[in-house]
Amino acid sequence: MPPKKPTPPPPAREATAPPPAGHPPGQGHAAIPTDVHILWINAGLSCDGDSVSVTAATLPSIEDVVLQGIPGLPKVHMHNPVLATEVGEEFLAPFRAAARGELGAPYVLVVEGSIPNEKVKAEGYWAGWGEDADTRQPILTCDWIDQLAPGAVAAIAIGTCAAYGGIHAMAGNPTGCMGLADYLGWEWRSAAGLPVINVPGCPVQPDNFMETVTYLLYQVAGMAPMIPLDSMLRPTWLFGKTVHEGCDRAGYYEQSDFASEYGSPKCLVRLGCWGPVVNCNVPKRGWMDGVGGCPNVGGICMACTMPGFPDKFMPFMDEPPGSSVSVAMGKPYGRIIRTLRGITNAGVNRETKWRHTGDRLTTGYQETVPISN
């Protein structure tokens, strides 16, 4: 299937009744599967950073999911080349079976890395995975996606490369690469009626991905409604707020107290932080088991989750153009408010005057007179 021209994204979706898991809409309810495979292709234009990142997940961890530590989930068979103990043809066997329609159980397709356009070059290939048994030539990553996507109950683009193109798709790249929804079409639907599900981040925040997978597994098991996605196909509960709204330094921003060098605890906007306009929950959630979180720990937000990343946010480390306006407007307000808060803070940092020794009560207590009949 040739790459389709990207079309405008569909409108934001509300949670609706669950589709029959593993069945196209309108074809009756499927039996709830006891087993589900996760077929994870990291052979887009990828650095494997998302596979590595997910090993740090704790809510839930990979082990929780594949060892059936979560009640109600089907048995999960995870096939990821970074995590697998099988190699070569033994590892590829379930992918080949799924491509032939012979896997025997529903599967979720996970794509990591951006999808190259194999039609924009004269010879060779951009990305491949495994070998064609007849021709002994690499099987193109695009061909794997073409064969596996139609039968998947869900397709997840993990990381910003797979979601929107990311680093590899920046201006001047020779591969013409793109995200999974750009490749399949934004109107594409899985066998269970779901659009591509984007979990961006460079790399993905590990719990964001595992939580999305867990949600989908519950949906496949008929125990969750349709996953709520925004217009860029991101889970709404993960990407509905900005970095700024969850940042530990937002109090400094509010009173126009800005860092001018690294190492300061103040707001980093003048050092290049894009947090006020970036959809990401990392400052709230942290990176690993609640620890970390970009601006919280001293790094600017460079907008790595965003569809316009990286081109629309470069050069990194420069003050974002819009922020100079808000910074300039906030300066007089910030000066006044910091002064007033300083005075109030000094006042409330003292105890009240009636807490003292001596034989005189100065609390203002007034003895009540008993009411007589």
> In the complex, which residues of this chain contact ligand SF4 (CB under 6 A)?
46-47, 49-50, 112-113, 159-161, 166-167, 201-203, 243-244, 247, 249-250, 253, 267-269, 273, 275-276, 278, 280, 282-283, 294-295, 301-305
H or E stretch at 197: strand 197-199
Q: Which tokens in the block code for residue 285?
A: 């959630």
- Of residues 283 and 330, the one with the C-beta less far from ligand SF4: 283
Smallest distance, Å, CB 310 to ligand SF4?
10
In the numeric block, the tokens 């021209």 are attached to: 5
Based on CB atoms, which residue is closest to ligand SF4, 21 or 327? 327
Residue 57 or 303 with smaller CB distance to ligand SF4? 303
Nearer to ligand SF4, 48 or 146 (CB): 48
Of all residues in this chain, which one has the CB nearest to ligand SF4 in the complex? Answer: 275
In the bound complex, what is the minimum distance in angstroms from residue 127's beta carbon to ligand SF4? 12
Q: In what order do the strands lie in the sheet with 107-112?
A: 75-79, 35-41, 107-112, 154-158, 197-199
**Residue 262 or residue 354: which is nearer to ligand SF4 going by CB?**
262
Least gap, CB of 83 to ligand SF4 (angstroms): 15
Which class for 220: exposed (0-12), middle (13-18), buried (19 or more C-beta within 10 A)?
buried
> Rounded to whole angstroms, what are the CA distances from 116 to 129, 307, 363?
13, 17, 76
Nearer to ligand SF4, 46 or 80 (CB): 46
- Single-letter amino acid, residue 107: Y
To ligand SF4, the closest distance from the beta carbon of 182 in angstroms equals 15
In sequence order, the 6+-apart residues with CB closer than 8 A to the CB of 145 are 41, 109, 111, 115, 180, 183, 184
Please state the closest distance from residue 217 (CB atom) to ligand SF4, in A. Answer: 22
Provide the CA 103 distance to its chain's centre, in angstroms.
29
Closest approach of ligand SF4 to the CB of residue 356, in Å:
42
Closest CA to 302 of 280, 287, 324: 280
